Amino acid sequence: MNVGELFNQKHHFSDGLYAKEMYIPAGYMAGSHLHNYSHLSILSKGSVSVTVEGVTTDYTAPACIEIKAGLQHLVLSKEDCVWFCIHATNETDADHIDEVLICRKD
């Protein structure tokens, strides 16, 4: 099973905006990564701990969380969650969206 299937990912596109919707089961840690651009994440259900550059903050839905560009972050789901990552982008191909949004360190 790939990550998209595990998280039951859904992709939403509208005029320069992209939203990745994910179901994150309780106890699961969404991998640490960084983004090329700052964006908003919306926790619409559940509770999580978000660690950014080693500092952890707890959130309970509903919550809107800013994720700054270039900062290492990870999400630990404390209960079943629904999480949306909202990005400004003109990319509309779900198969290539992560190539545009996620910072690759060589």
The 10s digit of each residue's pLDDT in 4-52 is 566 788 999 999 999 999 999 999 988 777 888 899 999 999 999 999 9
Between CA 53 and CA 50 the distance in angstroms is: 10
The correct answer on CATH 2.60.120.10 for the domain covering 3-101 is yes
pLDDT tens for 71-94 read 988 899 999 999 999 999 888 888
